[in-house]
Structure formats: C-alpha cells, structure tokens
Chains A and B, each alone.
Chain A
Amino acid sequence: MIQVRARRLLLTGAILSAVAFTGAPAVAAGTAEGRVGPSAMSSATAEGDSQAAARGTSGGVPATPAAPKTSLADLEDEVMCPVCGTLLGLADAPQAQRQKAMINRMVDRGASKEEVKAALVDEFGSEVLALPEGSGFSLSAYLVPIVGFLLAAAGLAVAVVRWQRQPAAASESGPGEGSSPDGAAASGGSGTDRRLDEDLARYDL
C-alpha cells in the first residue's frame, strides 16, 4: 500500500512539475498556445540566404515574386504593443496598427524575423519582445522554472525514499522487541501490527 502511495505521489509531483515548467514561460509570454521560450526564440535562425537588401520603396511589390522570410502572422504573437501591453496580435489600438504596418513594410522588403525584431527593439526597447531574451538577467526567466522543477523532483525523491525506509525500519525493529509472537503482541508490536489488530477487531474476525 505504501508503494502504491509513493507511486501516486511521484506521478502527481511529476505532472505538477511538468505543468509548472511549461506554463511559466507561457504566462510570461502571454500566449494562449503555451509555447515555451528558447525554442521559439531560435526558430527564425534557419531562414537561408539573406535577401535582406531593400527592394525599393516601402510597401512596394517585389519585382521577382519570392516567398517572404517571415510574415506579420509569424511575428505578432512574439512581440508586444508597447501602449496596450498585450500581444500585437491581440491589439487593435492605433499604435498597434502602425506597428503592424511597419512590420509589413519590412517583410515586403525581405527582412528576416530577427531583423524585424531587432528594429522593434531599437524603437521600443527589449520589452517589446513577448518572450524574454535568452541572455543576461532575462535568462533567469527560463532558468528559474528548470531549477525549481529539479529541486521539486529531488525533494520528492528524498521524501519518497525516507517514507519507504520508515516501514522497513519499523518492521525490522518490531520482531526484535519480543522473541515470541506473544511478546510482540503484549508489547504493542509495530504500527502495522497495531493497525492490523484494529482492523481485525473492527470486523470481529
């Protein structure tokens, strides 16, 4: 029974820790999808050759059609509206509209996701990014949940090991107290024996 309890505890602790670990950066990011930081941050790095040169006037259609490096839809849930304090994709304020227009202009000129983000950071500071940067103090936004999860797992493991040892220690000391079953019963026996006696008495067996 104790082993079953220990397994349930472990499972519960693992589930809670996993939820906390995946949920924290998502809360920080404010995304409904719960995407987690570093992988999302690095998703734009494999864009291929740079076609980042300006192709002409802002908002102009490129002469040779080519797949854009990124898009507004790709960016608007990773950057914030600095006035509204919400994700750009959820914001409808005049400033949000202007920000979207700026992003569209840059996308039309072939800018990559990282270039657009860098331009937004240049305009509004690093707080315009929905996900914390993976460097400096901001790294703590990713490290703290991981460290917390590891500490929780370690604490849980220690608690389970101790709990499992206690009944084993009790059952080892129990028979030593009296050399005969009568002696063990007379002295009150171990906790397990006492509970067994109580159960037997309850059912009048």
Chain B
Amino acid sequence: MRPRSILGVLVVAAFLGLLTYGLASEGSSGPQIGEPVPDAPLETLGGEEGATGSLADYRGRWVLVNFWASWCEPCRAESPELEALQQRYGGPRFTVLGIDTRDLTRDGLAFVREFGLTYPQLRDGDGEAAQDWGTTGVPENFLVDPDGVLRELVRGPVDARVLRQEFVPHFAADLRRDRT
C-alpha cells in the first residue's frame, strides 16, 4: 500500500473514531425500570457552601426523585401534591427527594419557601444529573427502591391520583409491614 493511501485510511479512521466517540458520549438514555439509578453527588439546595448529597444517602429507603425547576409551571401545580405525599408517608422508609435542575439558586429557594416544601432538595445547575437520568424535560418523577433500583417513572407532572395509582402501591406494602 502506498504511503498516501495509508495516510488517507488513517485520516478516515480518525474521523470515524471521532464521530463514534461523539455519538457515544452524547447523553445517555437514562436508567430503565429494573436498572440501578445514577447516584452522583450533587450540591444541596440552600445548604452550606460545598455541601453535597446523593441518592446513596437514602439507601434503605424508598425515594421518589422529582426533577423540577422554579420556572416550570407544571412543577408549581404538582409541588403541593408531593409535599402532601411527604407529609403522609415520609419517614425512615420513604422520602421525596427534589432535584432542582438548570435553575438559579435564589429562584429555587424562593420556590421551596413558597410551597413550604419540607423534603430534601439537591441542585443540578448544569443539568448533568438530568441528562444522566435521561430526563426530557421537567417535571419528571422516578421511584427508586431501597436498593437503588428504578421501579417506576412518570414523565410529566403528577397529581394525587397518579401518585396513588402509580407510585404508592410499590412502597405501601413495605411501610405497612414496618408498622406491624
């Protein structure tokens, strides 16, 4: 093979390699039901400078992970429902965990105060966590079991009926078992 042909092949191979790398690293599809969920640490919303938290901190509990943002109108509608769920079932075996994505800290904190949200909140300023979870927008809700496996997800806002039908049946039995 002539040197020029070898060079040409190398150039084409380099471009193909670059294209493949770009496609492979261009956002994940996120966890599917039955798969483990990402648990990279995130900044806490309104916490001390540098304080972080992650899903791993809640291992052993059912966690309803809620991706939201203060500029999102449907998030405003569903927040009271999520707070009601937290008030009803929150404890050592269940919690709602909010992740404020691509939002200003000040606006996120104002949102939390406005709706009186008591469940823990993390910050995903650059949207990487939202990308890792495969979200396509906000709000989106993911139910994670005590072993860190995704059990249910709803893309879009939830209301009391959706929570009762789609999420509660998964963890209600566990909570009842603990109470007996």
Contact = CB atoms under 8 A, between A and B. Distances in A.
Nearest to A125: B126
B127 A94 contact: no
B102 A127 contact: no
A122 B104 CA distance: 10
A125 B103 contact: no
Nearest to A123: B125
A5 B164 CA distance: 78
A120 B149 CA distance: 34
A94 B127 CA distance: 16
A83 B102 contact: yes
Contact of B127 (A82, A93, A102): A82
A95 B72 CA distance: 9
Interface of B: 69-72, 102-107, 125-128
B58 to A, nearest CB: 25
B104 A123 contact: yes
Contacts of B128: 125
A98 interface: yes
A99 B102 contact: no
Nearest to B127: A82
B126 A82 contact: yes
Contacts of B69: 83, 95
Nearest to B72: A94
Give chain A's interface secondary structure class.
helix
Contacts of B106: 102
B154 to A, nearest CB: 21
A163 interface: no
A143 B150 CA distance: 43
Contacts of A83: 69, 71, 102
Contacts of B107: 98
B126 A95 contact: no
Interface string A88-114: 000001110011001000000000000
A75 B61 CA distance: 45
Nearest to A94: B71
Contacts of B70: 98
Contacts of A125: 125-126, 128
A95 B71 CA distance: 6
Contacts of A82: 102, 126-127
